[in-house]
């Protein structure tokens, strides 16, 4: 089975709760659509270390991993460092600095090798997995913020599964919210061949939770 999460933002207890809830095993595959780091917990470094030890897990590049790398690789670039810090990077920086030199180098190397998208098939369905939205460059694939009216650009029925934009920030052009609460919490947005999995982990709102989508049957899991 293929399980997809996005935008964990350091909430490791929710991450492990989803793995337990789904019964995730060595025969399954986990794809995380970026933004593991920043904001919550110890900045997602513990989640990164866990993912690195799982041969059946893939992390895609998110805009927060991109900001982290730019700041860590160019510590004298004040603009890059400030940009990261304004977006919750301090907790991740602190956690990286607490690692020994070898482990810190290993984590940063892992981040530098992340793919920016993944195309897979599951039970006869085709999916394009990405942090932001399909585009013509890594920057746009990572940073694009489609609205709820977005339609999959693929003519063969391939569905786009993404994160990046919290579903509570999705509004129709009319100004009406494109989301509803379910038992007081956010849930996955399902559009026209477009799924948004970002249910606001790392944000200081009680409606947040971590979402997970199983691709074979589109079952949803939450923690």
Task: Read off the CATH number of the domain in which 78 is found.
Answer: 3.60.21.10
Cβ neighbour number for residue 194 with a 10 Å cutoff: 22
The pLDDT assigned to 52 comes to 98
Q: Please tell me the distance from the alpha carbon of residue 59 to that of residue 80, in angstroms, as a whole number.
A: 23
Q: Could you tell me if residue 2 is inside a domain?
A: no
The pLDDT assigned to 56 comes to 98
Q: Could you tell me if residue 20 is inside a domain?
A: yes
Q: Could you tell me if residue 71 is inside a domain?
A: yes
Q: Could you tell me if residue 171 is inside a domain?
A: yes
Q: Return per-residue pLDDT of the chain as tens, 223 residues.
A: 999 999 999 999 999 999 999 999 999 999 999 999 999 988 899 999 999 999 999 999 999 999 999 999 999 999 999 999 999 999 999 999 999 999 999 999 999 999 999 999 999 999 999 999 999 999 999 999 999 999 999 999 999 999 999 999 999 999 999 999 999 999 999 999 999 999 999 999 999 999 999 999 999 999 9
As for how many domains the chain has, the answer is 1
> Which residues have CB under 8 Å from 53's CB, separation 6+?
none
Global pTM? 0.96
The pLDDT assigned to 43 comes to 84
Cβ–Cβ < 8 Å for 40, 201: yes
Cβ neighbour number for residue 140 with a 10 Å cutoff: 14
Q: Could you tell me if residue 69 is inside a domain?
A: yes
Closest CA to 13 of 40, 52, 53: 40
Beta-bridge partners for 196: 162, 189
Q: Could you tell me if residue 1 is inside a domain?
A: no
The pLDDT assigned to 6 comes to 98
The pLDDT assigned to 50 comes to 97
How many CA atoms, within 13 angstroms, populate the side-chain half-sphere of residue 104? 14
Tell me the residue range of the domain where 158 lies: 7-222
The pLDDT assigned to 180 comes to 92
The pLDDT assigned to 19 comes to 98
Q: Please tell me the distance from the alpha carbon of residue 49 to that of residue 44, in angstroms, as a whole number.
A: 9
The pLDDT assigned to 41 comes to 87
Q: Could you tell me if residue 208 is inside a domain?
A: yes
Beta-bridge partners for 16: none
């Amino acid at each position: 089975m293929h399980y997809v999460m996005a935008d964990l933002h350091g909430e490791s207890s929710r991450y492990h709760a989803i793995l337990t809830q789904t019964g995730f095993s060595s025969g399954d595959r986990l794809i995380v659509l970026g933004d593991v780091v920043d904001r919550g917990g110890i900045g997602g470094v513990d989640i990164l270390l866990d993912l690195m030890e799982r041969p059946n897990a893939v992390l895609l590049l998110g805009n927060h991993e991109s900001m982290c790398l730019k700041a860590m690789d160019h510590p004298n670039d004040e603009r890059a460092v400030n940009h990261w810090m304004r977006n919750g990077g301090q907790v991740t920086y602190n956690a990286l600095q607490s690692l020994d030199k070898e482990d810190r180098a290993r984590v940063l190397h892992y981040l530098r090798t992340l793919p920016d998208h993944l195309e897979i098939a599951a039970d006869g369905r085709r999916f394009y997995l990405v942090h932001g939205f399909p585009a013509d460059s890594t920057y746009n694939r990572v940073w694009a913020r489609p609205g709820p009216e977005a339609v999959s650009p693929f003519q063969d029925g391939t569905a786009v599964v993404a994160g990046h934009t919290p579903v509570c920030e999705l509004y129709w052009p009319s100004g009406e919210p494109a989301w509803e609460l379910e038992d007081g919490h956010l849930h996955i947005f399902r559009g026209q061949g477009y799924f948004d999995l970002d249910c606001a982990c790392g944000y200081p709102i009680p409606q947040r939770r971590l979402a997970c989508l199983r691709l074979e049957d589109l079952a949803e899991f939450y923690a």
